[in-house]
Structure 1
Amino acid sequence: MADHNNQQKRIHPLADVEAPRSPSPTHPLFPRNTSKSDNPNDDHHRSPSQPIPRRTFPVSHSKPPKRKRSCLCRLLCWTFSLLLILIIAVGITVGVIYLIFRPKMPKFSVDQLQVVQFNLSGSNSLSATFDARITATNPNKRIGIYYEGGSNIEAWYEETNLARGSFPKFYQGHRNTTALTVIMTGQTEDASGLFNRLQQQQQETGNIPLNLKVKQPVRVKLGKLKLFKVKFRVRCRLVVDSLTAQNGIRIQNSSCKFRGIRL
């Protein structure tokens, strides 16, 4: 009886072999790339032709490299800084030089003008020769002036160039005044009308206006330092009583002004 009870205890219930098996899930409960709706009845109300909503994700684009741009900005900043420093340095240097040397423009004056030749030939050619005495003054206390070759001085009446000449080469020291004698010669073709106008103006007004235009290259000496060559322009306005040769000519008015400086 005891053995029979032990056998009953060893018997275990077995699964029903003939019962149909539920298929194992091979697909996910929700389609991929879709989100589960909070409403469980949404799938029952969606029509078969309606597409299943898909979740979209923002696309992140990579930013372009900024290395080249930053290098260019740095180069421009350095260039601008160097130029600014250079301009400031030049300005300071010029200011120091001005305070130390106190530069002043030289002065010119036409003291005497003699007409050596001024006549009209049979071929309507006007020949003119002037002998001018010009005084150059250097008012600077610490600056010397070298008058270089290649100068040009011209005598004009209205728009006609009557004669031309040049200054001699010389050095003018500090606070020095130098008297120069300049000879100007020239010849004008087809000048019968010009000669008649000069005679008529002399008879009517008693004076004749002339212009002396000077172009003179110079080098400035600051202490022991000789600077680069520059060229200044001077214009002198004269009023004389006549242009008759071999007669004393009186200068009624004379004024000279600087017109500019070029390198």
Structure 2
Amino acid sequence: MGNTKECDHHKGQRGELHRRVFAAILGFIVLVLLVIFLIWIILRPTKPRFILQDATVFAFNLSSTGATTPSLTTPTPNTLTLTMQATLTAINPNSRIGIYYQNLHTYASYKGQQISLAAELPPTYQGHRDVTVWSPYLYGYAVPVSPFMLDVLRQDQSAGAVLVNVKVIGRVKWKVGTWVSGRYHIYVNCPAYIRLAGERDNDGGVGISGAGAAVKYQFFQSCVVDV
């Protein structure tokens, strides 16, 4: 009888200990979540804003003859040549958070296809509410493009404008005081509608260019930013 009471007493002590451990763990989790929530309320972290200010187009030419070369029996491919300079502005809207930009690259895209080499942007730190401006040159010489793009570009030529997307990819870090976060991927998409003047080349292809040797377009276009 005495042994039974002693066992019941020990079981009661172990159960009480388990309840206390569970309550302590639960309280710790609630405390951590509360701290995170308070930090978020106080800091209100906001992803950076990007603006495409302008673009200077030196060349934007698509050619496709469908003809064969003297040494080949297959048609020459569609090729696109692009030279432009884009002015991008990055804005840190946070009043208590700094932003590190790392491994940033920008390139031009048309109809979902990359049409320029990726230009590297310098690593940058943005303080609270800081503004950074980059003006990279984007080059793409005789870039092979899919066959359907010739017809699409002809339609854009008839409409008088072409949509070129200036994109930025890379990584960012957040800085609060002396604390620096891990790296996060950042994706930026800046649409740019460029007015076109078109003409056919002597081989029957389509050449598209801005009116003049170089044309500067003012946009002040907000970009889509995903972090």
Shared fold (TM-score greater than 0.5)? Answer: yes
Structure 1 residue 218 displacement after superposition: 1.1
CA contact (8 A) 1:241 1:249 kept: no
Aligned residue in 2 for 1:194: 149
Match of 2:209 among 244, 247, 251: 244
Mark the runs of 5 or more structure 2 residues left unpaired by the alignment: 1-13, 65-75, 197-207
Relative contact order, CA 8 A, sep 6+: which one is greater? 2
Q: Aligned partners of 1:201, 1:121: CA distance in 2, in Å?
A: 15
For normalisation by structure 1, the TM-score amounts to: 0.59
Structure 1 residue 134 displacement after superposition: 0.3
Aligned residue in 1 for 2:110: 157
Against the structure 1 CA distance between its residues 78 and 111, is the aligned structure 2 distance closer, same or farther, given a 3 Å change threshold?
same
Against the structure 1 CA distance between its residues 78 and 184, is the aligned structure 2 distance closer, same or farther, given a 3 Å change threshold?
farther
Match of 2:123 among 169, 172, 194: 169
Pairwise CA RMSD? 3.4
Aligned residue in 2 for 1:101: 43
Q: Aligned partners of 2:215, 2:193: CA distance in 1, in Å?
A: 14
Structure (1 or 2) with the greater strand fraction:
2
Q: How many residues of Structure 1 are paired with residues of Structure 2 in the alignment?
A: 192
Identity of aligned residues (%): 28
Q: Aligned partners of 1:75, 1:90: CA distance in 2, in Å?
A: 21
Aligned residue in 2 for 1:144: 98
CA contact (8 A) 1:241 1:251 kept: no
| Greater displacement, 216-225 / 193-202 | 193-202
- Higher alpha-carbon Rg: 1
Mark the runs of 5 or more structure 1 residues left unpaired by the alignment: 1-70
Aligned residue in 2 for 1:111: 53
CA contact (8 A) 1:135 1:180 kept: yes
Query: Which one-letter code corresponds to 1:208 in the other structure?
Result: V
Aligned residue in 2 for 1:67: none
CA contact (8 A) 1:240 1:251 kept: no
Query: Which one-letter code corresponds to 1:257 in the other structure?
Result: V
- Give the 5 Å matches for 1:1-263: 82=25, 84-85=26-27, 87-120=29-62, 123-124=76-77, 125-149=79-103, 151-163=104-116, 164-186=118-140, 187-190=142-145, 193-203=148-158, 205-242=159-196, 244=209, 246-251=213-218, 254-259=221-226, 261=227
Structure 1 residue 182 displacement after superposition: 2.0
Against the structure 1 CA distance between its residues 194 and 249, is the aligned structure 2 distance closer, same or farther, given a 3 Å change threshold?
farther
Structure 1 residue 231 displacement after superposition: 1.5
